[in-house]
Amino acid sequence: MKIIGINGSPRAKGNTRLALDTMGEVFAQEGVEFDILHIGHKLSPCSGCFRCAKTHTCTLPDDGLNAMYDQLIQADGIILASPVYFASVTSGMRCFLDRIGCIDMNNGRKLRMKVGVPVAVARRAGAVNAVDELFHYLNYAQMLIPGSLYWPLAFGQAPGEVAQDAEGIQTLQVLAQEMVYVMKVLDAGKAQVPLPPLPRKVYTNFVR
């Protein structure tokens, strides 16, 4: 089994990475492979061209997004982790979600029924708003979202301060354990319970 963590922070080794590493320690104990993809500032925003409806890949100049999507398809679980910028996720995470979401909904929803969780790291406030944004994407992608003892967030500003948030660390550890549990249940049931068919999506546009 494999889990991919998306680090939406511009800082490759900041508190968001520490939050992911905390979960990674649990995955290692459970024998689950764990990789972290750091998106930083390198992704361009979605242009809304919808060419991916025909190509099933993003046609913007190659910045690694399509390769990331391929890795997500191969994973059993996905973590979307972002620091909080003005009560929201980072611009890098926003670019990632817009483009991955557009590709996936035009590519047969390959991320459907994977286990997905959000994680937000904040100095003080705005974390619940950021978690909510990530929840919306996971829900639209039809992923399965386990919970924890609290909302999936941790607090810290200077690098390493998240380690001092005892409740946040425990919340992340339990979240990691529940991710693995749901993944194991899904794996055990695949042969007995097939996925329900995916109908062609109906679009209703309201024009006034």
Range of the domain at 148: 2-189
Place of tokens 């972002």: 82
Q: CB-based burial of residue 98 (10 Å sphere; 0-12 exposed, 13-18 middle, 19+ buried)?
A: middle
pLDDT at 93: 97
Q: Which stretches does DSSP call E strand in the chain?
A: 2-7, 33-38, 77-83, 115-122, 153-155
In a domain, 120, yes or no: yes
Residue 175 CA: distances (Å) to CA of 44, 104, 111, 116, 196? 31, 25, 20, 11, 26
Q: How far is Cα 198 from Cα 111, in angstroms, rounded to an integer?
A: 13
Q: Within the chain, how many helices (H) and strands (E) appear? A: 6, 5
Give domain status of residue 197, yes or no: no
Q: Are 23 and 79 within 8 A, CB to CB?
A: yes
In this predicted structure, what is the pLDDT of residue 41? Answer: 85
Asked whether residue 202 is assigned to any structural domain, the reply reads no
pTM score, whole prediction: 0.95
Which parts of the chain have pLDDT scores under 50?
none
CA distances (Å), origin 64, targets 16, 59, 130, 205: 21, 11, 24, 33
The CATH number that applies at residue 159 is: 3.40.50.360
What per-residue confidence (pLDDT) applies to 179?
A: 98
Domain count, the chain: 1
